Amino acid sequence: MLTLTRDEMRLLRLLAEGASNRTAAKKQGIALRTMELHRQKLMRKLGAKSAAQLGYLFAKYEREYGESA
């Protein structure tokens, strides 16, 4: 079973809702470059190839595991 941290779920939710890296960084209170690195790590972890796929995977993860940020 794939496990996401609370921070990863929070980030995934923001990106799935269409937040830009800049907006997500501000909401997370982190630097833009840090946000970009977190997004890349999350995409690798989930095997996502695009932002749209991240949104799909977020919805799937929530359905399967009932997780919510």
Cβ neighbors of 47 (< 8 A, separation 6 or more) are none
Band of pLDDT at residue 62, cut at 50, 70 and 90:
confident
Using the predicted structure, report yes or no on whether residue 2 has a pLDDT greater than 80: no
Which parts of 1-69 fold into alpha helices (H)?
Answer: 6-16, 21-28, 32-46, 51-65
Using the predicted structure, report yes or no on whether residue 55 has a pLDDT greater than 90: no
Burial of 38 (0-12, 13-18, 19+ CB in 10 A): buried
Question: Which tens digits make up the pLDDT trace of 7-51?
Answer: 888 999 998 888 999 999 999 999 999 999 999 999 999 999 988
Using the predicted structure, report yes or no on whether residue 67 has a pLDDT greater than 60: no
Domain annotation for the chain: domains and CATH numbers:
6-64 (1.10.10.10)
The model's pTM is 0.78
